[in-house]
């Protein structure tokens, strides 16, 4: 512009355009920032999910879990009916399977009936959503449109602040095997978890859940267990520790289908799908070898596969898969239970529907029938009123001192921190 001695220095058109472009960019970002503040004050909630990025190396290429975290903000225009901070960092990804064994028969009068499928799913979904402060993406594998309608109806009438925590992703499959000949074509609908890495190529990891599980601790705490995996581990489960105290020797077959001489339950699994895909040849070979031994039973198949590749197995804390069997000699079968409390209960083998399993039946029915508009404080008060008596009516758990406190431990720790 104007300089000393009255000389005039002209700015070229290109420089002027450059200055205007910079100014325009600053203006746009300022407008976006002001718009974000306005949305936040209006009650919009933003869900944040970690996109994990890592430097590529020969031994860790494609592993998206054991890495440095980089945040990506995903905003969803969902008006919240309450004031709270943005939902914390990660999105939890989980999967359940709801398949009827025989699609040609009506869903009535059997242990695997449609009503029982939905009944169990209600208590599972309500417990994971009610106790969570994070967004949950739930993949639901089904073989019936009726199941899709049934599951959708479970969440349809929840209060918005609960309904908006979960995104249901349905996938319909046949009950018949869809695997190739090289996988022996013997894996049916319920065992699709054996090939989740192929079914969900967009996911880095997920938690598989049987529907007969009720959470008593936020599911995001389980998701964080992935960070405990070492560089080789790609699969996590709970082993029933009491097997090592069994004096009866295993048969050769039992040794093969029970991991490390103890076996693990396949009702709750941590699957690092990215690592499984990176070990595709090895994983496929293990599955084929397992199928030579076990015609059908995904739990036995998984156990055999991990026996072939024990370096890939991560042993989870037994508190994440509480079953009535743990009550017998609890200090040996689940030594961390007394100090750490129960994280999730598993009603495997139809335990939620058997009158003698009073404490599991009570927990299942309470969560199934829960009014999702209740506060956590109300839930704690109501469970405190019924659990002590339920424990006393459930042998051998009636002999475990303070079990009702172990069941309530994490909900009490959440009290005052959870916005419902």
Give all domains of the chain, ordered by start, each with its CATH number: 1-42 (no CATH), 92-318 (3.90.550.10), 324-414 (no CATH)
The whole-number pLDDT of residue 32 equals: 57
Instruction: Grade residue 331 by pLDDT with cuts at 50, 70 and 90.
Output: confident
Instruction: Grade residue 355 by pLDDT with cuts at 50, 70 and 90.
Output: very high
- Name the pTM for this structure: 0.75
Is residue 349 a contact partner of residue 120, using CB atoms and an 8 Å limit? no
Least confidently predicted of 139-143, 174-178, 308-312: 174-178
Asked whether residue 407 carries a pLDDT value surpassing 90, the answer given is yes
Instruction: Grade residue 28 by pLDDT with cuts at 50, 70 and 90.
Output: low
Segment 74-100 mean pLDDT: 55
Segment 353-367 mean pLDDT: 95
Is residue 354 a contact partner of residue 392, using CB atoms and an 8 Å limit? no
Q: Which residues contact 305 (CB under 8 A, 6 or more apart)?
A: 283, 286, 287, 289, 290
**22 SS3 class:** helix
Asked whether residue 197 carries a pLDDT value surpassing 50, the answer given is yes
Asked whether residue 219 carries a pLDDT value surpassing 90, the answer given is yes
In this structure, the strands spanning 166-172 and 136-142 are parallel
Nearest to 328 by CA among 266, 395, 389, 262: 395
The whole-number pLDDT of residue 68 equals: 26
Is residue 200 a contact partner of residue 139, using CB atoms and an 8 Å limit? yes
Higher model confidence: residue 128 or residue 10? Answer: 128
E-assigned strands of 283-334?
Answer: 313-315
Segment 114-143 mean pLDDT: 94
Higher model confidence: residue 108 or residue 32? Answer: 32
Higher model confidence: residue 232 or residue 244? Answer: 232
Instruction: Give, in order, the Cα–Cα distances in Å from 3 to each of 17, 144, 232.
Output: 22, 80, 68
Least confidently predicted of 135-139, 217-221, 269-273, 345-349: 345-349
Instruction: Grade residue 16 by pLDDT with cuts at 50, 70 and 90.
Output: low
Higher model confidence: residue 314 or residue 46? Answer: 314
Asked whether residue 151 carries a pLDDT value surpassing 80, the answer given is yes
pLDDT in tens, 161-189: 999 999 999 998 865 544 443 344 345 67
Least confidently predicted of 62-71, 215-224, 346-355: 62-71
Segment 107-113 mean pLDDT: 47
| DSSP one-letter code for 87 | B
For residue 320, give both structure tokens.
């994440």
Segment 377-394 mean pLDDT: 97
For residue 109, give both structure tokens.
């009068």
Residue tagged 């069941």 (tokens): 407
Mean pLDDT of all residues in the chain?
78
> Taking CA 416 as the corner, what is the angle to CA 414 and CA 418, rounded to the nearest 5 degrees?
60
Asked whether residue 60 carries a pLDDT value surpassing 60, the answer given is no
The whole-number pLDDT of residue 215 equals: 99
* Cα gap 304→293, rounded to integer Å: 9
Residue tagged 């359940």 (tokens): 96
* Cα gap 94→403, rounded to integer Å: 28
For residue 228, give both structure tokens.
């405990």
Is residue 211 a contact partner of residue 347, using CB atoms and an 8 Å limit? no
| DSSP one-letter code for 322 | B
């Amino acid at each position: 512009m104007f300089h000393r001695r009255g000389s005039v220095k002209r700015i070229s058109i290109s420089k002027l355009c450059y200055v205007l472009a910079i100014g325009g960019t600053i203006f746009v970002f300022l407008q976006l920032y002001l718009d974000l503040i306005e949305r936040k004050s209006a009650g919009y909630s933003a869900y944040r999910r970690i996109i994990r990025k890592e430097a590529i190396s020969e031994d860790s290429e494609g592993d998206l879990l054991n890495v440095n975290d980089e945040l990506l903000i995903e905003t969803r225009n969902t008006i919240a009916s309450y004031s709270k901070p943005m939902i914390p960092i990660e999105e939890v990804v989980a999967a359940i399977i709801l398949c009827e064994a025989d699609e040609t028969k009506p869903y009535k009068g059997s242990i695997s009936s449609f009503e029982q499928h939905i009944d169990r799913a209600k208590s599972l979904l309500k417990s994971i959503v009610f106790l969570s402060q994070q967004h949950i993406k739930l993949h639901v594998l089904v073989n019936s449109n009726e199941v899709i309608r049934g599951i959708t109806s479970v969440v349809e009438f929840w209060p918005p602040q609960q309904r908006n925590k979960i995104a249901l992703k349905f996938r319909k499959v046949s009950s018949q095997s869809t695997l190739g000949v090289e996988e022996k074509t013997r894996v049916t609908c319920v065992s699709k978890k054996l090939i989740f890495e192929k079914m969900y190529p967009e996911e880095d990891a997920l938690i598989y859940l049987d529907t007969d599980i009720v959470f008593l601790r936020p599911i995001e705490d389980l998701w964080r267990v992935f960070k405990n995996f070492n560089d080789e581990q790609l699969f996590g489960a709970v082993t029933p520790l009491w097997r090592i105290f069994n004096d009866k020797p295993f048969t050769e077959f039992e040794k093969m289908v029970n991991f490390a001489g103890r076996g693990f339950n396949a009702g709750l699994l941590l699957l690092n799908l990215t690592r499984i895909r990176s070990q595709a040849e090895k994983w496929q070979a293990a599955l084929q070898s397992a199928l030579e031994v076990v015609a059908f039973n995904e739990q036995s198949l998984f156990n055999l596969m991990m026996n072939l590749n024990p370096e890939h197995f991560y042993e989870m804390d037994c508190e994440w898969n509480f079953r009535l069997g743990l009550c017998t000699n609890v200090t040996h079968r689940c030594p961390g239970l007394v100090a750490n409390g129960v994280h999730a209960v598993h009603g495997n083998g139809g335990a939620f529907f058997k009158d003698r399993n009073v404490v599991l039946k009570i927990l299942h029915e309470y969560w199934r029938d829960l009014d999702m508009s209740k506060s956590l404080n109300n839930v704690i008060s109501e469970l405190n009123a019924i659990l002590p008596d339920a424990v006393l009516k459930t042998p051998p758990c009636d002999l475990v001192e303070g079990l009702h406190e172990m069941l309530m431990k994490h909900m009490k720790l959440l009290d005052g921190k959870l916005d419902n």
